[in-house]
């Protein structure tokens, strides 16, 4: 799942949302954001901060010859926050800085292995992805933290980034101040099967096209592996068609909120291929996580304050994952945004994320 974090108009200060109502129920604390009837949903009007232009960048050279590109934005002396992008494969963008107060946060952006400006790129068919796993990405985060002289930092992640950010926190809980996770996923086989097979129940014709493009021998319950094989084919035409079909399906299942527009990055064949190759590599391998790993290891992060945010209309990452995690996480709050789906450019996801980062900005 790719996260599209392009948001609405910039803002100078956090908005006090007088239209937010809280409803509590058994289980985790749940806040449901509701627009006052009969007002329409917040489409493209998410209040966010101005994008901060990166002021520092570099490459982190890893022992296996991977070069991981990183950037910093915001206040160089602010509270550090690591932005964990989604996909896998989408790459980082300075747009992420819109979720944080530029005066209070030191924003750390990193292109995960094989994505963005990191090299070697997954967009090169000859790139060996055997050293591109969840464990490698977690090690990269730790190496970057050490390189930048940061003792502890906040972590913000979306979609796949929520999964990876939580996995990182569980591996290094003493290095994480807070977690803000939205469009929450846990990288489970069930989630992957839901998106690539079971969602046929929601988009039957589109799924049939997605399945047909995987080839006549494709197992309908193992489509990431089938696509991964096509994306490694020697024929560039086969690779091109597979990447296009995969990204068309991506745009289909995230398009459940009013006002959704297709991701323009998919018009770029290089981005399409890089993204599709990275995500199928991870999904064909269950995101390199043990079954139920993130839920089982919640005790590792039980003390870390967290906000888990999901759109009620999100069928790419349904809210039960966030609910189940928050239910076992004493320091976590669950926020369900009623008018939002999987992306932050429609509905109130952006506002909820900003509210959370504003709340944690004083923690160090």
Catalytic residues: 159, 314, 342
Say if residue 120 is preceded by a cis peptide, omega within 30 of 0.
yes
Report the alpha-carbon distance of residue 324 to residue 304 in Å, rounded.
Answer: 16
Distances in whole angstroms, Cα of residue 300 to Cα of each of 169, 183, 360: 8, 21, 20
Q: What are the Cα distances from residue 181, in Å, to 178, 201, 245? A: 10, 28, 28
Query: Please, how many CA atoms are within 13 Å of residue 39, restricted to the half-sphere of its CB?
Result: 10
- CA–CA separation, 129 vs 142, rounded Å? 20
Bridge partners, 179 (sequence order): 155, 306
Helices (H), 116-268: 134-147, 160-171, 189-196, 204-212, 223-231, 236-253
CB-count burial class (<10 Å; 0-12, 13-18, 19+) for 3:
buried
- Using alpha carbons only, what angle is made at residue 337 by residues 333 and 341, rounded to the nearest 5 degrees? 120
Residues 321 and 295: their CA atoms lie apart, in Å, by 9
Q: Give the span between the Cα atoms of 243 and 255, in whole angstroms.
A: 19
- The encoded tokens of residue 205 equal 């014709």
Burial class (CB in 10 A: 0-12, 13-18, 19+), 47: buried
CB neighbour class for 130 (10 Å; exposed up to 12, middle 13-18, buried from 19) = exposed
């Amino acid at each position: 799942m790719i996260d599209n974090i392009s948001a609405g108009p910039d803002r100078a200060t956090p908005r006090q949302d007088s239209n937010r109502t809280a409803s509590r129920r058994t289980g985790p604390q749940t806040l449901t954001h509701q627009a006052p009837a009969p007002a329409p949903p917040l489409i493209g009007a998410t209040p966010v901060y101005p994008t901060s232009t990166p002021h520092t960048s570099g490459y982190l050279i890893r022992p296996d010859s991977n070069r991981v590109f990183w950037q910093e934005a915001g206040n160089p002396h602010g509270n550090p926050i690591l932005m964990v992008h989604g996909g896998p494969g989408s790459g980082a963008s300075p747009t992420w800085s819109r979720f944080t107060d530029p005066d209070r946060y030191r924003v750390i952006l990193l292109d995960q292995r094989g994505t963005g400006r990191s090299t070697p790129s997954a967009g090169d068919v000859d790139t060996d992805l055997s050293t591109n796993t969840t464990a490698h990405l977690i090690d990269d985060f730790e190496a970057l933290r050490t390189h930048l002289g940061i003792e502890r930092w906040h972590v913000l992640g979306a979609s796949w980034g929520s999964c990876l950010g939580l996995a990182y926190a569980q591996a290094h809980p003493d290095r994480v101040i807070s977690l803000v996770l939205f469009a929450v996923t846990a990288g489970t086989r069930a989630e992957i099967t839901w998106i690539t097979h079971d969602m046929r129940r929601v988009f039957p014709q589109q799924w049939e096209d997605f399945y047909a493009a995987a080839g006549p021998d494709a197992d309908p319950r193992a489509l990431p592996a089938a696509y991964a094989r096509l994306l490694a084919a020697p024929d560039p035409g086969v690779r091109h068609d597979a990447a296009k079909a995969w990204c068309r399906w991506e745009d289909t299942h995230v398009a459940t909120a009013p006002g959704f527009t297709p991701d323009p990055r998919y018009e770029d064949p290089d981005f399409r291929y890089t993204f599709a190759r990275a995500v199928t590599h991870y999904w064909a391998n269950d995101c390199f996580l043990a079954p139920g790993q993130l839920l089982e290891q919640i005790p590792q992060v039980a003390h870390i304050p967290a906000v888990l945010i999901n759109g009620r209309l999100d069928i790419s990452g349904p809210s039960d994952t966030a609910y189940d995690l928050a239910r076992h996480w004493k320091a976590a709050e669950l926020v369900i945004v009623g008018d939002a789906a999987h992306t932050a450019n429609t509905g109130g996801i952006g506002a909820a994320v900003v509210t959370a980062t504003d709340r944690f900005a004083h923690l160090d």
